A = this chain, B = another copy of it.
Amino acid sequence: MSSQRPSAVPASVVDLVGFAAYSELAEFGLLATRSVDAPDLDTRQALADGAERAIERERAMLAVVGGPRAAVMAPFADTLTEFDARTRTDDWAEGLLKGVVGHGVAQDFCRTLAAAIEDPVGRRLREVLDRPVPGPAAVAEAGADAEAIEVLGRLGAADEVLASRLALWGRRVVGEALNLVTVLLATHPGLDDLASRAPAALGADIGDGGSRAWIVARLTAEHTRRMDRLQLAA
């Protein structure tokens, strides 16, 4: 990684990479914390592997823009601190679902905005965001948080009461995550600029609500699919 930010990378792209990388560092923390107090050794190992992969993705993203890592991410540290505080929980499974939902929304948000970034930087960023998970096809399809999704799906299938509670918790977390997305777009003109160009880049019709409303609707739909994979009601 060079010590200088390449001047060819627009500020909006640095913003997006900063947020994307910081959300990987946050996901590392959520997975690692749940690894430490996991109920058994297999789960502990699976979540540790997932946490390790989050750091690998973070490093790969930061390499796309180069520059001092903390400087690129620092503008987003406070934003996530508030999300974190508003979704604090002492429950193990809720903490894990918070990671899956929050990180899932963050990844979908970054994928959508990355569509508006021209190649080769856009392509490299999309490659990191879509990087396949090592393992069987079912795991690869589950994406970045495959291990956590597998653990939560298994817990929910075995305990109907827990599944209901997690479904409710998932709605709370996604509400906070979508609120964070709205705040990010309102406070970071670079991200808002990418958001305004993303629909055309994806060949989408944004309708009457403008690009911000379109993105929230898109992220909500992706969240519903993710909760389906977990067999939890969105």
Chain A positions within 8 Å of B, measured between CB atoms, are: 25, 28-29, 32-33, 35-36, 41-42, 44-45, 48-49, 51-52, 55-56, 69-70, 73-74, 77
Contact = CB atoms under 8 A, between A and B. Distances in A.
B51 A25 contact: no
Contact of A45 (B35, B51, B56, B70): B70
A18 to B, nearest CB: 11
A25 B52 contact: no
A93 B135 CA distance: 37
Given A29-B36, A42-B70, 12 more contacts: A25-B45, A25-B48, A28-B32, A29-B35, A29-B48, A32-B32, A32-B35, A32-B36, A32-B51, A33-B36, A45-B69, A52-B56
A80 B55 CA distance: 26
Contacts of A73: 41
Contact of A74 (B28, B41, B69, B77): B41
A51 B73 CA distance: 19
A45 B52 CA distance: 13
This chain: copies in complex: 2
A44 B26 CA distance: 10
Contacts of A25: 44-45, 48
Nearest to A37: B29
Contacts of A45: 25, 69-70
A28 B45 CA distance: 10
Contacts of A36: 29, 32-33
A74 B55 CA distance: 26
A77 B49 CA distance: 18
A224 to B, nearest CB: 29
A112 to B, nearest CB: 26
